[in-house]
Structure 1
């Protein structure tokens, strides 16, 4: 078991660790705007190259695959950069935050007002609790289409490799669709196909719909730019998006899905940080330091490694820090539904295992 099983709130961790962090860690870092714009430019260049694919020999089309991988990485970076922007660590101007986030989140089909609701307000304040929209489904929840899709495509001991592959490339889209429809169409009342429903005011829902229509228009412009060509769309649009979604879902699946549920928002219990090759931390703005982010959501992500050092000094042995490969293997060895806050089970309820992180 962990050295200290007492639950500690996010606010308590922040109060303890804050004095050891430099003031600069909490200052805005506008350089992240350049990162966002650079990756938008990479996508535009990739689409411009895809425009010429009809002129390529069929035997040379494979040469576009490295370009698609680079574009896919840009999709990942756009989410992580927008994530930082919307947490206020990049700039403080609300209008500019909204505009840049709209650009950055368009490839993710996630309106900024929706992201602020589902991530900043709901997920961060209720992490891995019954009210967290990003948690695993409970075994006792109805077997709706949302739960069925997660069961079929999310990493677990029983997942089919083909379905897992498809799921990695599409799960983000399912997540966005699930939460958007729940909020826009039902606004909490009968939406039982999400892990946890939440409501927003009519004004916020109108804003979400308006932003979604802008994103739809931008995607249509991209598709039109690619001349509605199946070849250009498959290689230049769907493939990079699928690669990007798969990469970001690797992080998202390992952020919390292996953790037990908590009634008190204790980031060292309900979140996981990963050890990844340094190049990925450079490319992805230290997103692997996820526990650190949950303690200080608005801090400059360049300082996450320092936060990790402080956690290990002040709370030795308490945080969930795993090699990325080990975290993935644990996901693939365990069921994906909560039987109770400390136990996972499968669709049938017959196979149960304790949360593996409880055994540390």
Structure 2
């Protein structure tokens, strides 16, 4: 893909073909959130008040984990203003929905809405973008990580999906805290501390054995579900100079019933085109995208996308490719040679082709001995 167009350009082409009601908020989405909230509270009470066999507690934990993730998906939609428009109500409902994942609404809107959406897949400005080779070479920690054999690293990377969202949220708090006006910093801090205080407080009330099933295990499950989507949203796509959703985003496909349970979170390219549109209408947007730009639109089954992530590294080389640094194995990205059903790499000649991209001499020394 050589040409890039802004999300506004695509939106201007599709909008005339959409009915006016798709641009209105959809408060009825809150009904699904209420159901998940009741399920979550009921599960917490059952685990806390009854002495059940660990197997039953585990099964309830799985349900809680799915509920935590789905509330997070709804919180994401709420904080884009697609459910209600009043700012105070939007933030209040968003805070409740994100409470299990311990992310505050002000931080989320700063990190996700104002930065990730505006600068998607820009190496320097997108807080969710993965690094390029030059940034990797400047980081001692990343250089150490990328000396670990690829298969082992891939295993731990997928295992880390169980806590990555929580860890990244904490990192974003420190990253963006100074950007808030002084009067808002206390609010941001309280929105971060209160959920954690409530969950840690629950630990002292019910004890660790029950807390493990009531919160910790559901949090890990919720993280894994949320990050399974987030990991496929952009990590197979190239870094781009223009915020082009058809170049930098991927929509995955899941069974219809999962789309219903997860508030159509799988429609990610559509979301980046119309972030203030309810995901209820994304299937309609997808229909027009596939009709108007079938050669630019990227979609694949969720399982296939996750397998492709497992088989490819997460370091960008010259924006449009991915590289395994020590071996010099270069893979394509979506729109730039990546075939998910047949993932292949080309061998880069480290000294000639990568040259000064390896800022650290340690990389060169290790590569020469391979």
TM-score range relative to shorter protein: 0.7 to 0.9
| 1:214 match | 194
Aligned: 1:248 with 2:226 = yes
Output the CA distance in 2 between the equivalents of 1:279 and 1:20: 27
Output the CA distance in 1 between the equivalents of 2:94 and 2:40: 16
Aligned: 1:8 with 2:5 = yes
Contact 1:109 1:215 in 2 (8 A): yes
Output the CA distance in 2 between the equivalents of 1:51 and 1:341: 50
Output the CA distance in 1 between the equivalents of 2:262 and 2:282: 12
* Contiguous gaps of at least 5 residues in structure 2: 340-370
| 1:107 match | 100
Aligned: 1:143 with 2:150 = no
Q: How does 1:1-360 map to 2 (within 5 A)?
A: 2=1, 5-52=2-49, 55-56=51-52, 60-130=53-123, 131-141=125-135, 142-143=138-139, 147=142, 158-160=151-153, 163-164=156-157, 166-184=159-177, 187=178, 199-225=179-205, 227=206, 229-346=207-324, 348=326, 350-359=328-337
The DSSP-based 3-state class of the residue aligned with 1:358 is coil
Output the CA distance in 2 between the equivalents of 1:354 and 1:133: 22
Output the CA distance in 2 between the equivalents of 1:347 and 1:219: 41
| 1:196 match | none
Output the CA distance in 2 between the equivalents of 1:90 and 1:11: 22
The DSSP-based 3-state class of the residue aligned with 1:172 is helix
Alpha-carbon offset, residue 37 of structure 1 = 2.6
TM-score (norm 1): 0.86
Contact 1:158 1:335 in 2 (8 A): no
**Alpha-carbon displacement from aligned partner over 1:217-247 (angstroms, at most 9, x marks no partner):** 322343344x2x1210112211111111100
Larger Rg: 2
Q: Which has the higher contact order (CA 8 A, sep 6+)?
A: 1
| 1:192 match | none
Output the CA distance in 2 between the equivalents of 1:346 and 1:201: 41
Output the CA distance in 2 between the equivalents of 1:87 and 1:178: 21
Alpha-carbon offset, residue 214 of structure 1 = 2.3
The DSSP-based 3-state class of the residue aligned with 1:83 is helix
**Alpha-carbon displacement from aligned partner over 1:90-142 (angstroms, at most 9, x marks no partner):** 01111111111111112222111110011000000100012100011222223
The DSSP-based 3-state class of the residue aligned with 1:335 is coil
Alpha-carbon offset, residue 39 of structure 1 = 1.6
Output the CA distance in 2 between the equivalents of 1:149 and 1:164: 15
Alpha-carbon offset, residue 334 of structure 1 = 0.8
Output the CA distance in 2 between the equivalents of 1:180 and 1:170: 16
Output the CA distance in 2 between the equivalents of 1:222 and 1:151: 39
Output the CA distance in 1 between the equivalents of 2:301 and 2:146: 25
Alpha-carbon offset, residue 349 of structure 1 = 6.8
Contact 2:132 2:319 in 1 (8 A): no
The DSSP-based 3-state class of the residue aligned with 1:214 is helix
TM-score (norm 2): 0.84
* C-alpha RMSD of the superposition: 2.3
**Relative to 1, partners in 2 of residues 1:241 and 1:111: Cα closer, same or farther, differing over 3 Å?**
same
* Contiguous gaps of at least 5 residues in structure 1: 188-198
The DSSP-based 3-state class of the residue aligned with 1:51 is helix
Moved more, 212-221 or 67-76: 212-221
